[in-house]
Amino acid sequence: MAWPRVFTAWCRAPFWVGLLLGAGMAAAALIAPYVNWQPVVAPLDERPLVIRHDAKGDGRFLAPRSGTRRHRGIDLAAAMGTPVRAIRSGIVAQVGAHRGLGRFVELEHRHQVRSLYAHLQQVRVEPGARVRQGALIGTVGKTGNARHPWIAPHLHLEIVKAGVVVDPKTLGLEALDASTDALQTAQATVSNPSHDESQDARGGE
């Protein structure tokens, strides 16, 4: 019969090649925005990122809390209303309000990683939404236990990997400790870009 030959010729037609290429390009265009082009991006636009230190304590990972509790994330100091961004692309697993965390957003990422952003003033995403790396998901606030007047506005960032809480710095996030000389040096460099180290050697002449 001639039908097998006709079918074979039909399958070899440029139309099908173009169709497959078009479908592949369309799929790539849909996936590309959600690819993590960096291992992690900063959750705030502030530079440098600074870990909170105030009259009510510090925001370092595993810093002591009341009783035997330890801090499960890091607190990044920022002004009220500062944009909060997704450190990686993922799915919005949960949006809610908690007595301690205040308004929060939890994202689910690939490789059993979850990120939680707390004490938010505003939430800009809905549960189930797909977000890109660096996308706006909320703004810095003082909700939950951060409402205390002695606690500076900040973002609480918490990372869970395979069910275990880990230091966000293990993902490559860089943040300076507000109590260290490194922070003072960084702030001086930002405020005075023409700063010359040789001036320090001369006692700041």
**pLDDT less than 50: residues of the chain:** 27-28, 30, 181-183, 186-187, 189-190, 195-205
The pLDDT assigned to 183 comes to 46
Quote the pLDDT of residue 204: 39
Specify whether the CB–CB gap between 143 and 98 falls below 8 A.
no
Query: Which SS3 state, helix, strand or coil, does residue 31 take?
Result: helix
What pLDDT, in 10s, does the model give residues 45-76?
Answer: 988 999 999 888 889 999 988 888 899 999 99
Strand partners, 105: 95, 117
- Fold for the domain defined by 50-191: Glucose Permease (Domain IIA) (2.70.70)
Domain extent listing, the chain:
50-191
Tell me what pLDDT residue 6 has. Answer: 55
What confidence score (pLDDT) does residue 195 get?
Answer: 42
Look up residue 173 and give its amino acid. L
Would you call 202 helix, strand, or coil by DSSP?
A: coil
The predicted pLDDT at position 196 comes to 45
Neighbouring residues of 187: CB distance < 8 A, sequence distance ≥ 6 = none
Q: Secondary structure of the chain: what % helix, strand, coil (to 5)?
A: 25, 30, 45
Q: Which pLDDT score is estimated for 16?
A: 53
